[in-house]
């Protein structure tokens, strides 16, 4: 009789382990089956940018280099669209993509059909004036903080109208790491000891 | 004044010093015949403002307005600074000087940006405001800008022997520059090094003087008084952000009404890892530091 509970519990444990293994396996299968997720943050996949909220943000115009816009000046129906990843030879050679570049190509963000807009992963077009919606698709946490005035910068009135900056005013969309800057001079050392 | 152990000796020394100094301070007529600012009637204050504006017009050759805006109801100001974003560029330090009419010669800096070692963490003993570099952030370092922490329990106010500095209802600790006797007890009481003394006549070039001022804030100060950050009282009491918030290229600086549940300060307090400097001293700052990552 004393062996019974032991074998009983062994059986129970066996079942638990098998169950767990099966679960793990299916979890792995699931995560492998998913399309490449742009960001490990789970929220990101569920994140839906709030386009209507954008109107009251008083955003400054996008910081294009002079003459870069409208893109359709060159990207007219004559210019063939080539979706293949390649080294660009005929234009935009100055663009260096260091933004998760292994998984990313220009047309993940830029619209192939209408070069004057960006687009989300689901194809929804996004104007350059609202490029933060594109960034928010993968950086949902930062976008929420930004909307609350906590990431990025808001100026104007703490109890009234505020202006925001677009993400691309601080981060180059193509190599977004914040660039080092030159500091102002240090303060003088004290002349007298108080 | 409460008689706290540890402070009592200094209080005593300050009281003695203040008697000595008060007896021989060369006071202007604006200060000598009047009472403390916060005890004056509106009419008396208007007269002082007129006096000051005339003095500044003569000195700078242009109209300088001296505001007297009072604290707004239902407002307690607070500040939050994101240490994971600040790169130590000192834009805030100089924007503050220009906005608040700090002396250019000798230079007075209300904001000090301290460079610290990532290995050592927050460690004032090894911090320096004098770092110089071609580019910041320097590898292995992080930056902690420090100015007045607008304490709820301010040792500077407690130690002032003449009551020339006090906390306003919106949380800003201010100084009555004409009542200050320059004894500098508040400076030694402040654990953040946030108070600064005008050793010689503060010099501000005529074309650089900020003409939008407040009587308890950035109006040009006389020699021999103590001054410090007032959260840009002349701006913030009119609903504007402080100058340092507006200038920060990294967006590390956050300001707002602590009592507004939808404001950025509450968002920081509720969602981020937050701390205050030298919490063990129980000064209870309204200036928070946080990690925005």
| pLDDT digits 0-9 by tens, B194-246 | 999 999 999 999 999 999 999 999 999 999 999 999 999 999 999 999 999 99
pLDDT tens digits, one per residue of B93-118 = 999 999 999 999 999 999 999 999 99
Query: What per-residue confidence (pLDDT) applies to B271?
Result: 97
d(CA A164, CA A136): 15
Q: Chain B window 127-166: which residues touch A at a Cβ cutoff of 8 Å?
A: 129-137
pLDDT tens digits, one per residue of B38-59 = 888 888 899 999 999 999 999 9
Contacts 24+ apart (CB under 8 A), A22-30: none
Which of B93, B133, B250 is opposite residue A178, by nearest beta carbon? B250
Query: What per-residue confidence (pLDDT) applies to A55?
Result: 56
Distance from CA of B54 to the nearest CA of A (A): 30
d(CA B247, CA B25): 39
Are B91 and A184 a contacting pair at CB < 8 A? Answer: yes
pLDDT mean over B117-129 = 96
pLDDT at A39 over 50: no
pLDDT mean over A24-31 = 36
Choose between B42 and A192: higher pLDDT.
B42
Q: If residue B107 lies in a helix (H) or strand (E), which one and from where to where?
A: none
Q: Return left, alpha or beta for B6; rule: phi > 0 is left, psi -120 to 50 is alpha, else beta.
A: left
A193 touches chain B (CB under 8 A): no
d(CA B253, CA A175): 24
B111 touches chain A (CB under 8 A): no
d(CA B179, CA A128): 56
**Strands of B17-148, DSSP E:** 65-67, 77-82, 112-117, 141-146
pLDDT mean over A117-124 = 96
Tokens of residue B6, six digits: 């540890």
d(CA B90, CA B96): 10
CB pairs under 8 A between A and B: 100
B94 touches chain A (CB under 8 A): yes
Query: What per-residue confidence (pLDDT) applies to A29?
Result: 35
Which residue is closest to B292 within chain A, CA to CA? A151
Minimum mean pLDDT among A75-84, B141-150, B284-293: which range?
A75-84
pLDDT at A12 over 50: no
A185 touches chain B (CB under 8 A): yes
Minimum mean pLDDT among A31-35, A48-52, B33-37, B220-224: which range?
A31-35
Mean pLDDT of chain A: 78
Q: Tell me the β-bridge partners of B81.
A: B253, B289
Distance from CA of B226 to the nearest CA of A (A): 13
DSSP string, B176-199: -TTT-----HHHHH-TT---EE--
Give A159's contacts in chain B (Cβ within 8 Å). 75, 239, 257, 260
A155 touches chain B (CB under 8 A): yes
Which residue is closest to B107 within chain A, CA to CA? A188
Are B87 and A160 a contacting pair at CB < 8 A? Answer: no
Give B254's contacts in chain A (Cβ within 8 Å). 149-150
B261 touches chain A (CB under 8 A): no
Topology at the third CATH level for domain B8-293:
Alpha-Beta Plaits (3.30.70)
Per-residue pLDDT band at B20 (split at 50, 70, 90):
very low
pLDDT mean over A101-113 = 94
pLDDT tens digits, one per residue of A42-96 = 333 333 445 444 457 899 999 999 999 999 999 998 888 888 889 999 999 999 9
Query: What per-residue confidence (pLDDT) applies to B16?
Result: 53
d(CA A28, CA A14): 21
Are A185 and B132 a contacting pair at CB < 8 A? Answer: yes
Per-residue pLDDT band at A2 (split at 50, 70, 90):
very low
pLDDT mean over B60-72 = 97
Contacts 24+ apart (CB under 8 A), B217-221: B217/B100, B217/B174, B218/B99, B218/B100, B218/B101, B219/B52, B219/B56, B219/B64, B219/B66, B219/B101, B219/B177, B220/B56, B220/B59, B220/B60, B220/B64, B220/B101, B221/B101, B221/B177
Are A170 and B251 a contacting pair at CB < 8 A? Answer: yes
Give B83's contacts in chain A (Cβ within 8 Å). none
Query: What per-residue confidence (pLDDT) applies to A42?
Result: 38
Are A182 and B90 a contacting pair at CB < 8 A? Answer: no
pLDDT mean over B148-154 = 98
3-state helix/strand/coil string of A71-106: HHHCCCCCCCCCCCCCCCCCCCCCCCCCCCHHHCCH
Choose between B66 and A8: higher pLDDT.
B66
Those residues whose C-beta lies under 8 Å from the C-beta of residue B185, and which sit 6 or more positions away, are: B10, B13, B14, B17, B18, B159, B160, B161
pLDDT mean over A158-169 = 96
Query: What per-residue confidence (pLDDT) applies to B32?
Result: 56
Q: SS3 for B288?
A: strand
Query: What per-residue confidence (pLDDT) applies to B163?
Result: 95
Mean pLDDT of chain B: 91
Mutation target to probe the A interface, by most A beta carbons within 10 A, among B251, B257, B262 is B251
pLDDT mean over B55-68 = 97
Q: Name the residue ranges covered by the structural domains of chain A.
A: 8-34+51-83+91-170
Which residue is closest to B255 within chain A, CA to CA? A158
Tokens of residue B236, six digits: 């913030």
A84 touches chain B (CB under 8 A): no
A186 touches chain B (CB under 8 A): yes
Query: What per-residue confidence (pLDDT) applies to A77?
Result: 86
Distance from CA of A53 to the nearest CA of B (A): 16
Those residues whose C-beta lies under 8 Å from the C-beta of residue A132, and which sit 6 or more positions away, are: A54, A59, A143, A146, A164, A166, A167
What letter does residue B32 receive in the DSSP assignment?
A: H
A178 touches chain B (CB under 8 A): yes
Choose between B157 and B15: higher pLDDT.
B157
Query: What per-residue confidence (pLDDT) applies to A56?
Result: 72
Per-residue pLDDT band at B37 (split at 50, 70, 90):
confident
- pTM confidence score: 0.87
pLDDT at B158 over 60: yes
Q: Report yes or no: B289 and B275 within 8 Å, Cβ to Cβ.
A: yes
pLDDT tens digits, one per residue of B1-18 = 343 444 455 555 555 555
Mutation target to probe the B interface, by most B beta carbons within 10 A, among A147, A155, A158 is A158
Percent of chain B surpassing pLDDT 70: 89
Which of B89, B130, B257 is opposite residue A184, by nearest beta carbon? B89
Per-residue pLDDT band at A6 (split at 50, 70, 90):
very low
Are A165 and B251 a contacting pair at CB < 8 A? Answer: yes
Give A186's contacts in chain B (Cβ within 8 Å). 90, 129-132
pLDDT at B157 over 50: yes
Q: Chain B window 25-64: which residues touch A at a Cβ cutoff of 8 Å?
A: none
Query: What per-residue confidence (pLDDT) applies to B232?
Result: 98
Please give the angle made by the CA atoms of B131, B135 and B140, to the nearest 5 degrees: 65
pLDDT at A15 over 90: no
pLDDT mean over A100-118 = 95
Which of B87, B109, B241 is opposite residue A187, by nearest beta carbon? B109
Tokens of residue A193, six digits: 């000891």
pLDDT mean over A5-14 = 40
Query: What per-residue confidence (pLDDT) applies to B34?
Result: 74
pLDDT at A3 over 50: no
Query: What per-residue confidence (pLDDT) applies to B148?
Result: 98
């Amino acid at each position: 009789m004393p062996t019974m509970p032991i074998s009983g519990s062994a059986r129970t444990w066996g079942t638990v382990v098998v169950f767990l293994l099966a679960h793990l396996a299916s979890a792995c299968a699931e995560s492998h089956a998913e399309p490449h997720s742009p960001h490990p943050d789970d929220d990101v996949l569920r994140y839906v940018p709030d386009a209507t909220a954008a109107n009251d943000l008083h955003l400054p115009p996008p910081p294009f280099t002079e003459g870069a816009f409208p893109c359709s000046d060159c990207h007219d129906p004559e210019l063939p669209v080539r979706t293949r990843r390649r080294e660009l030879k005929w234009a935009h050679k100055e663009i260096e993509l260091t933004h998760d570049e292994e998984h990313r190509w220009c047309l993940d963000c830029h619209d192939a059909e209408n070069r004057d807009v960006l687009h989300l992963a689901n194809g929804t077009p996004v104007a350059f004036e609202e490029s933060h919606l594109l960034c928010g698709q993968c950086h949902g946490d930062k976008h929420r903080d930004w909307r609350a005035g906590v990431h990025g910068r808001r100026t104007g009135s703490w109890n009234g109208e505020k202006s925001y900056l677009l993400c691309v005013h601080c981060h180059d969309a193509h190599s977004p790491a914040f660039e080092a800057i030159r500091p102002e001079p240090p303060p003088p050392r004290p002349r007298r000891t108080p | 004044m409460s008689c706290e152990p540890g402070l009592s000796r200094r209080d005593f020394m300050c009281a003695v010093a203040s008697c000595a100094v008060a007896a021989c301070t060369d006071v202007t007529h604006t200060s000598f015949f009047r009472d403390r600012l916060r005890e004056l009637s509106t009419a008396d204050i208007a007269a002082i403002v007129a006096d000051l504006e005339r003095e500044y017009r003569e000195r700078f050759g242009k109209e300088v307005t001296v505001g007297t805006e009072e604290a707004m109801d239902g407002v307690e100001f607070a500040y939050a600074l994101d240490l994971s974003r600040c790169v130590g560029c000192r834009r805030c330090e100089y924007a503050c000087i220009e906005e608040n009419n700090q002396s250019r010669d000798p230079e007075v800096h209300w904001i000090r940006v301290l460079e610290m070692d990532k290995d050592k963490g927050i460690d004032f003993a090894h911090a320096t405001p004098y770092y110089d570099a071609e580019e910041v952030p320097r590898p292995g370092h992080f930056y902690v800008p420090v100015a007045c922490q607008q304490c709820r329990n301010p040792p500077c106010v407690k130690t002032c022997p003449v009551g020339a500095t006090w906390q306003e209802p919106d949380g800003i600790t201010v100084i009555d520059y004409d009542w200050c006797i320059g004894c500098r007890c508040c400076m030694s009481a402040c654990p953040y090094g946030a108070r600064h003394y005008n050793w010689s006549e503060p010099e501000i070039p005529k074309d650089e003087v900020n003409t939008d001022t407040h009587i308890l804030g950035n109006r040009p100060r006389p020699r021999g008084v103590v001054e410090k950050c007032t959260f840009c009282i002349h701006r913030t009491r009119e609903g504007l952000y402080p100058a340092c918030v507006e200038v920060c290229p990294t967006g590390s600086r956050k300001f707002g009404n602590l009592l507004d549940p939808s404001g950025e300060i509450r968002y920081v307090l509720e969602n981020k890892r937050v701390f205050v400097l030298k919490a063990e001293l129980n000064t209870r700052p309204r200036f928070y530091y946080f990690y925005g990552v």
